[in-house]
Chains A and B, each alone.
Chain A
């Protein structure tokens, strides 16, 4: 029998008056999967997360968390999740320790376990020395770490992270990435990650979905997603001295777009056949007496896929 998916979104729809914010979005997230949910501002990412966590009810459709309908069995569903909402905050008047204990108690974590778990989490997130500090005394990065501790103290099966590293310094971002990846690996924790950061999604997620104008535009592994936009494959070449028109070097090979490098000493040519393009460039450059400093073929980044999909509406 197929295991119950951690998250099922079934034609989730949300209207704000006449405006359709999320339009019949459906997907499944398997247990133990890190699932990235990407989209431009106002695309419906946070609204979708809020429907999945039961903060706002869907206008139509259904969300099931760990097998429970979030609308009809919110408590049963929420006992399986930890949430770091977008633009959330810690309790400024509670200490770091009290903030973590509050969430542990709300999740009904037994005392011995919550004390141990909170201690371990504060150590892991480098907050142990600040356990008695008030929330208001923490920097943004430390508050975000604390929010993650609050979400993790109940050892949830499913973790919802809505823009968890937005505006954070490199150290905090890396710590959060490493910890989430570790928890996923060691405890098979399912992670639903909403992010603007394409590199973050590319590195962390097993699969990503792109939502655009409330509609699910694509859903696949980052690798497969990249292969969807062959036209964004490219070859980048740098010369010691660059004095010719790039198209002269391509010969019979066709490039869909050519961008000169900011240094002016080379170019990047986009096309479905970067290998043959590189060969042609090398041959023609040698014939013209140009010295190649470096040449490499590049696969499209997730960011390029994202831009391609969200600007063209391509599915």
Chain B
């Protein structure tokens, strides 16, 4: 019952707590309407609206749709979990359990990551089944899906950190941050074709690296190397999680 005192034992204990939190999130939050609107329908129609004005073949759109679906699904629910918990008055008991704040946030990330990775298979299967697109580099594609989901889910958790109790407030912030990122990430326009300011901003978006890996996976042209893409996505995930942790602690320190 009691968590062991050794560093490894404590880590395993908190890893288990994160797993429990992730299971709870899947059961409680991942079947709510915003997941579908912002996770699947929104990116699909967003991209189709863009593609309607261009003459790109469907297979060329596959990496973009997939990256964007992954981005929106993995980061769709994370921003809402804490506000929902605060609003439903379940937050205080969760936080006063033996699960550390890092374990709770990691559980949130784990749930978002799993959900994003799983749902990104929908556009992948559709692209492979309905278009001439094919997977040229499975390792790059897998890495892109997993690390992209990790970074995007961490971004979602970071967006949940401000003290807002109302999910609608958080959704506003979430879209304010997420929507601009897709325009500078090489999803719609290849990096090489982007204006100078876009090329300058692109490295600051985790979606850029994910889209790059997915494009490599589909046999497309790489902008960075897979190693740089992977390292950048891990760096973003760690940075987002650390910042979220700090923000949550600060919010609690100011709580009444």
Q: A50-B92, A88-B93, A107-B1 known; 18 other A-B pairs, CB under 8 Å?
A: A50-B255, A53-B96, A55-B255, A56-B252, A56-B255, A75-B100, A88-B92, A89-B90, A102-B24, A103-B97, A105-B16, A106-B20, A106-B21, A106-B94, A107-B97, A109-B1, A113-B1, A154-B1
Q: List 11 A-B contacts (CB under 8 A).
A: A55-B96, A75-B3, A78-B97, A83-B92, A85-B92, A85-B96, A106-B99, A107-B1, A108-B17, A108-B98, A109-B1
Q: Cα distance A90–B10 when bound, in Å?
A: 27
Closest beta carbon of chain B to A139's beta carbon, Å: 16
- Judge whether A79 is part of the interface by a CB distance below 8 angstroms: yes
Residue-wise interface mask of B (128-166) relative to A, using a CB-CB cutoff of 8 A (1 in contact, 0 not) = 000000000000000000000000000000000000000
Who on chain B is nearest to A77 by CB?
B98
Q: Which of A76, A83, A108, A109 has the most CB of B within 10 A?
A: A108
Inter-subunit contact B93/A75 (CB<8 Å)? no
Within 8 A of B (CB), among A104-136: 105-110, 113
Instruction: Please name all residues of chain B whose beta carbon is closer than 8 Å to the beta carbon of A84 when the two chains form the complex.
Output: 93
Q: Which of A75, A76, A94, A113 has the most CB of B within 10 A?
A: A75
Partner of B89, one of A87, A105, A108, A110: A87
Q: Is the interface of B mostly helix, strand, loop or mixed?
A: helix
Closest beta carbon of chain A to B99's beta carbon, Å: 5
Instruction: Please name all residues of chain B whose beta carbon is closer than 8 Å to the beta carbon of A54 when the two chains form the complex.
Output: 96
Q: Cα distance A155–B97 when bound, in Å?
A: 13
Partner of B98, one of A85, A92, A107: A107
From known contacts A55-B252, A55-B255, A75-B10, infer whether A108 and B3 are also in contact, taking CB-CB under 8 Å: yes
Closest beta carbon of chain A to B3's beta carbon, Å: 6
Q: Cα distance A47–B99 when bound, in Å?
A: 21
Who on chain B is nearest to A52 by CB?
B96
- Judge whether B253 is part of the interface by a CB distance below 8 angstroms: yes
Instruction: Please name all residues of chain A whose beta carbon is closer than 8 Å to the beta carbon of B24 when the two chains form the complex.
Output: 91, 94, 102
- Judge whether A24 is part of the interface by a CB distance below 8 angstroms: no
Instruction: Please name all residues of chain B whose beta carbon is closer than 8 Å to the beta carbon of A21 when the two chains form the complex.
Output: 256
The bracket for how many chain B residues form the interface is 20 to 34
Q: Cα distance A98–B20 when bound, in Å?
A: 11
From known contacts A87-B89, A91-B90, A102-B24, infer whether A108 and B96 are also in contact, taking CB-CB under 8 Å: no
- Judge whether B27 is part of the interface by a CB distance below 8 angstroms: yes
Instruction: Please name all residues of chain B whose beta carbon is closer than 8 Å to the beta carbon of A92 when the two chains form the complex.
Output: 88
Ordered nearest first, which 10 A-B pairs have the shortest CB separation? A89-B89, A106-B97, A85-B92, A105-B20, A53-B96, A78-B98, A79-B98, A83-B96, A93-B28, A75-B98
Inter-subunit contact B27/A110 (CB<8 Å)? no
Instruction: Please name all residues of chain A whose beta carbon is closer than 8 Å to the beta carbon of B88 when the two chains form the complex.
Output: 89, 91-92
- Judge whether A278 is part of the interface by a CB distance below 8 angstroms: no
Q: Cα distance A94–B85 when bound, in Å?
A: 13
Size of the A side of the interface (Cβ < 8 Å), in residues, is: 40
Q: Cα distance A103–B97 when bound, in Å?
A: 8
Inter-subunit contact A56/B96 (CB<8 Å)? no
Instruction: Please name all residues of chain B whose beta carbon is closer than 8 Å to the beta carbon of A105 when the two chains form the complex.
Output: 16, 20
Q: Cα distance A75–B101 when bound, in Å?
A: 10
Within 8 A of B (CB), among A23-58: 47, 50, 53-57
Inter-subunit contact A98/B97 (CB<8 Å)? no
Closest beta carbon of chain A to B37's beta carbon, Å: 18
- Judge whether B13 is part of the interface by a CB distance below 8 angstroms: yes
Q: Cα distance A293–B252 when bound, in Å?
A: 60
Partner of A83, one of B1, B14, B93: B93
Inter-subunit contact A74/B100 (CB<8 Å)? yes
Partner of A79, one of B2, B92, B253: B2
- Judge whether B95 is part of the interface by a CB distance below 8 angstroms: yes
- Judge whether A150 is part of the interface by a CB distance below 8 angstroms: yes
Instruction: Please name all residues of chain B whose beta carbon is closer than 8 Å to the beta carbon of A90 when the two chains form the complex.
Output: 90
Within 8 A of B (CB), among A141-162: 147, 150, 154-155
Inter-subunit contact A93/B27 (CB<8 Å)? yes
Q: Cα distance A282–B240 when bound, in Å?
A: 80
Within 8 A of B (CB), among A50-84: 50, 53-57, 74-76, 78-79, 81, 83-84
Instruction: Please name all residues of chain B whose beta carbon is closer than 8 Å to the beta carbon of A93 when the two chains form the complex.
Output: 27-28
Q: Cα distance A107–B14 when bound, in Å?
A: 10
Q: Which of B24, B28, B96, B255 has the most CB of A within 10 A?
A: B96
Partner of B253, one of A56, A74, A107, A109: A56
Within 8 A of A (CB), among B1-27: 1-3, 10, 13-14, 16-17, 20-21, 24, 27
Instruction: Please name all residues of chain B whose beta carbon is closer than 8 Å to the beta carbon of A56 when the two chains form the complex.
Output: 252-253, 255-256
Instruction: Please name all residues of chain B whose beta carbon is closer than 8 Å to the beta carbon of A75 when the two chains form the complex.
Output: 3, 10, 13-14, 98-100
Instruction: Please name all residues of chain B whose beta carbon is closer than 8 Å to the beta carbon of A103 when the two chains form the complex.
Output: 93, 97
Q: Which of B20, B90, B99, B253 has the most CB of A within 10 A?
A: B90
Closest beta carbon of chain B to A163's beta carbon, Å: 13
Instruction: Please name all residues of chain A whose beta carbon is closer than 8 Å to the beta carbon of B255 when the two chains form the complex.
Output: 50, 55-56
Who on chain A is nearest to B28 by CB?
A93
